[in-house]
Structure 1
Amino acid sequence: MVFTASPALSIVIPAYNESARIGHALDEVLACVAARQWNAEVLVVNDGSSDQTAEIVRGYARQHPELRLIENDGNRGKGYSVRHGMLKARGEIVMFTDADLSAPIIEAESLMAAIQGGADVAIGSRWLDRSRQTMHQPLYRRFFGRCFNGVTRLIMRLPFADTQCGFKAFRRSVAHTIFQLQRIERWGFDPELLFIALKRGYRVVEVPVTWGHDERTRISYLRDGMKMLEELACIRWWSLTGVYDKPVRELTPSVPAVKS
């Protein structure tokens, strides 16, 4: 018999005022973990919510020991929340997904397969196979999203069809390096993660995933898009000044399996 002290997979879910959606998300994620018999932990990072998000997660955690609640010290942003959770994760593969589960959690198997096949980072893509989009964005969102993605690819020299999909997985050792170097704490952190990954020589694989638009998304392409463009300039500057070349803390080894 084998007892694994550390999980094979960590699923990080950033959450800010998600009381309307977090219960459904946890039902789906925990049911999938059980049905697929994943050796997994689930980490919800509460980003200073003013609603019942934390209380709901604590209620689920009392029934599900594989679930942990992590608290930010106030509202710090999605990028900070993802980094906080990923650096707390103990799995050999660590991933993050949005609380709306626009990409069904079963799609984690595609990301895991890519990493088990040799990738260091696997990123979900809405655009590699558009037939897998179950609910399309409104036309104006598609237009602004594609424009921003094109500008991001040009400025960052990122060869990916979809840089912004909130469904990404990493080898734990790779995540430990990338997220220590990450500096952007709000919406524009995704291109930074990919930029760091390529700069550090990691292999990044883009994987098509099933995806459905959620009308309750909070991002504003005009307001947040302008901020993201400013952040892209910061990424280039940080790269030129050696920020992403700095050494990082060593990874604490995971607890190995114990056989009996």
Structure 2
Amino acid sequence: MRTTKSEMTKSPLFISVVIATFNRAEHLEKCLVTLDLQSCDRDSFEVIVVNDGSTDNTDEVLKSFANRCSINFRTAHHENRGVSYSRNVGISLSRGEFILFTDDDCRLPASWISQCIGHIEHLSSDVIGIGGPLDSIVEEGSRFAAEFVKYIDEFNHIPTLGRFRIRPVHVKNLTVKDVVPYLRTSNALFRKRMLIEVKGFDEVFRRPGGEDPDICFRLLALGGRFEFDTSLVVRHVCRATLAAYFKTLANYVGGEYLCRKNRRLYPFKALRLNYEYIPLQKICSSILALIGYPGAVVKASALHGHGLGHAMIFPLLVAISKKYALWIAMKCQLDEWRKAVACYQQKTN
């Protein structure tokens, strides 16, 4: 591990900011600049970047930033082991009582850490973690894909706990009665001791997708709750291409199947049911998207101001994405069945 000037500081740190990065040097540099511009006391936080075996110029970016930054800054480097392993390395190296996660493609407002410190100073003992919404921004890609990203507004739909499943609620409609069962680690703070108690992230999650719900559900099983601050906003850079959108969707569905293996560790029935019948959920979602297509076109045109062309195409792309998610789910399900059959045959032979 390479360390920087952070070792000069001896005062206790409130917060350790942990960022796992892989081959996103350009985005990472912009993210780090926003951390160097934080308005809070420099001795109140440290930043740890874990380089997950990047093959681009990430190492040079980290060296350059370490030489010019004014914050407590450390780095760790290892061969590519995945996002969960990298975050666990960050947790193990941290000196803060609280761990604040963000991603290398995020832009942090100057008040971000100050807001988190404000929460910590008035934190109820039953609060495990605090999160906030993500504001999607587009810096590259086609204009059409950028408009589609804004249309789906994915990150402003916050997961809430329903009676039988997790249901997304737009951040504008979120109420104090809504129970948020997991936080997105692009913008989330946790008590370090509780992360250690659940043994950190499950390292079977190598790619982003599923690792956030899994660790949060296991944290909830310890007892406690999450707080969600709608004003704790982080900007998240999206790659505005349809290929990137569908690739991310495939990762998320694959992540659901990895969560399914841990579902018996999850504390609420609705959480366990959410991963019990994944293909059936995808079938229902696909059917509802087709049935709701005419209404979605009207809504996109009349309420969101899209032109007729986009108003017709965007809901259609959503319907297609639901079909694609179903196909990925069936593929994962077949793989699961094949493994179960192979395991059974091995035991009987």
Matched, 1:51 2:71: no
User: In the alignment, which residue of structure 1 is the partner of 2:260?
Assistant: 233
Higher RCO (C-alpha 8 Å, min separation 6) = 1
Structure 2: how far apart are the matches of 1:153 and 1:60?
Answer: 48
AA matched with 2:41:
Q
Shift of the 43–211 alpha-carbon distance from structure 1 to 2, 3 Å rule, reads closer
Structure 1: how far apart are the matches of 2:50 and 2:85?
Answer: 10
Secondary structure in 2 matching 1:82? helix
User: In the alignment, which residue of structure 2 is the partner of 1:178?
Assistant: 198
Structure 2: how far apart are the matches of 1:97 and 1:210?
Answer: 12
Secondary structure in 1 matching 2:25? coil
AA matched with 1:214:
V
AA matched with 2:106:
L
What value does the CA root-mean-square deviation take over the aligned residues?
Answer: 3.5
Q: Deviation per CA, 1:23-74: give whole Å up to 9, x if none.
A: 2222210221xx42132211011011010112210222234472111113x2
Shift of the 234–112 alpha-carbon distance from structure 1 to 2, 3 Å rule, reads farther
Shift of the 193–102 alpha-carbon distance from structure 1 to 2, 3 Å rule, reads farther
Cα displacement (A) at 1:212: 3.2
- TM-score, normalisation: structure 1: 0.72
Cα displacement (A) at 1:221: 3.7
Secondary structure in 2 matching 1:20? helix
Secondary structure in 1 matching 2:180? coil
For the Cα contact (< 8 Å) 1:126–1:211, is it kept in 2? yes
Gaps of 5+ in 1: 128-132, 241-260
Matched, 1:210 2:233: yes
- Map residues 93-242 of structure 1 onto 2, 5 A cutoff: 93-104=98-109, 106-119=111-124, 120-126=127-133, 133=135, 135=137, 138=149, 141-142=152-153, 146=157, 149=159, 159-160=179-180, 163-164=183-184, 166-180=186-200, 182-185=202-205, 186-187=207-208, 188-208=210-230, 209-216=232-239, 220-238=247-265
Structure 1: how far apart are the matches of 2:76 and 2:90?
Answer: 7
Matched, 1:37 2:41: yes
Shift of the 151–228 alpha-carbon distance from structure 1 to 2, 3 Å rule, reads farther
Q: Deviation per CA, 1:105-164: give whole Å up to 9, x if none.
A: 63233333223322443332328xxxxx47497156436995x94799955799317643
Shift of the 167–47 alpha-carbon distance from structure 1 to 2, 3 Å rule, reads same
AA matched with 1:216:
R
Matched, 1:17 2:23: yes
Structure 2: how far apart are the matches of 1:17 and 1:110?
Answer: 30
AA matched with 1:53:
T
Shift of the 235–145 alpha-carbon distance from structure 1 to 2, 3 Å rule, reads farther
Shift of the 77–155 alpha-carbon distance from structure 1 to 2, 3 Å rule, reads farther
AA matched with 2:96:
G
AA matched with 1:58:
K
Structure 2: how far apart are the matches of 1:141 and 1:22?
Answer: 25
AA matched with 1:66:
N
Q: Tell me which structure has the larger Cα radius of gyration.
A: 2
Structure 2: how far apart are the matches of 1:162 and 1:239?
Answer: 12
Gaps of 5+ in 2: 1-8, 139-147, 168-177, 268-349
AA matched with 1:124:
G
Structure 2: how far apart are the matches of 1:151 and 1:48?
Answer: 36
Secondary structure in 2 matching 1:215? strand
Aligned residues: 229
Q: Which one is further off, 17-26 or 48-57?
A: 17-26
Shift of the 214–29 alpha-carbon distance from structure 1 to 2, 3 Å rule, reads same
Structure 2: how far apart are the matches of 1:26 and 1:225?
Answer: 27
Cα displacement (A) at 1:174: 2.2
For the Cα contact (< 8 Å) 1:115–1:171, is it kept in 2? no
- TM-score, normalisation: structure 2: 0.56
Structure 1: how far apart are the matches of 2:151 and 2:211?
Answer: 23
